[in-house]
Amino acid sequence: MQRKKNPQADLRKYSSLMFALGLCLVLFISWQAIELKSYERQYDLESLNIDDDDDEEIPITEQIKTPPPPPPPPAPEIIEIVEDEEEIEETIIESTETDQEEIVEEVEVMEEEMDMDIPFAIIEDVPLFPGCERVPKSERRKCFQEQIQKHIIKNFRYPEIAQEMGIQGRVFVQFMIGKDGNISGIRTRGPDKNLEKEANRIISKLPKMTPGKQRGRPVRVPFSIPVTFKLN
């Protein structure tokens, strides 16, 4: 007689499932064991000891007020009577003012010693070009300038070298009319030395003039004029 097995009691068909569950459980336990960390707890006993601070007693201090010192006793008033027996010397202050006549004399001496140049535009009495003596005082300035222009035109001569080279331009000339009426200190500034030399020659030929006057005294008078060189 053969034994019959109950198919429901056969556990071999669950062996693979049980093996997989067991393997998963072992892996989970191993993973938790690896990830597990332990920390050492350390406590500072001194920092945790709070009872000492509570037991500290603060002493009670009392501020002692010192009274201010008493005021000094008033000094007795002593009045001394001094007899006025000393003689006081009087100081005499002499007047430093000068008479009007002395001031006028000093100003006149200073004006004589002053040696200055008065520009043509502001001088009281302009220098007189020969021929302008009979002209009214209000027109002497204009007469002087016209006579200067006539003198330049009369004595003008264009340098041959400048003509050949085609040089032209304006030369500014400045000169001084001295206290004696003579011309001096001629200075020129222009585009070419030949033109400057010719302008110097023209001005040096000016005649002797009556000197200009400031407050009735002869003075030096600077004067400037342009000389134009132009080729036709």
Q: Find the range with the poorest average confidence among 48-57, 118-127, 138-147, 200-209.
A: 48-57
Domain enclosing residue 196, as ranges: 137-229
141 belongs to a structural domain = yes
Task: Report how far residue 202's alpha carbon sits from residue 188's, in angstroms, rounded to the nearest whole number.
Answer: 11
Q: Where are the extended beta strands (E) located within the chain?
A: 169-177, 183-189, 213-214, 217-218, 221-229
203 belongs to a structural domain = yes
72 belongs to a structural domain = no
184 belongs to a structural domain = yes
Domain count, the chain: 1
What's the confidence (pLDDT) of residue 205? 95
22 belongs to a structural domain = no
Q: Please name the amino acid found at residue 181.
A: G
183-189 and 217-218 as β-strands: parallel, antiparallel, unpaired? unpaired
Average pLDDT taken over every residue of the chain: 78
Res. 21 pLDDT band, cuts 50 70 90: confident
225 belongs to a structural domain = yes
CATH code of the domain covering residue 221: 3.30.1150
53 belongs to a structural domain = no
Q: How far is CA 86 from CA 81, 83, 163, in A?
A: 14, 8, 101
What's the confidence (pLDDT) of residue 73? 66
Query: What pLDDT, in 10s, does the model give residues 90-143?
Result: 555 555 555 555 555 554 545 554 578 999 999 999 999 999 989 999 999 999
Query: What pLDDT, in 10s, does the model give residues 22-48?
Result: 888 888 888 888 877 665 555 454 444
88 belongs to a structural domain = no
pTM score of the predicted model: 0.51
226 near 172, Cβ under 8 Å?
yes
What's the confidence (pLDDT) of residue 200? 96
Task: Report how far residue 126's alpha carbon sits from residue 142's, in angstroms, rounded to the nearest whole number.
Answer: 10
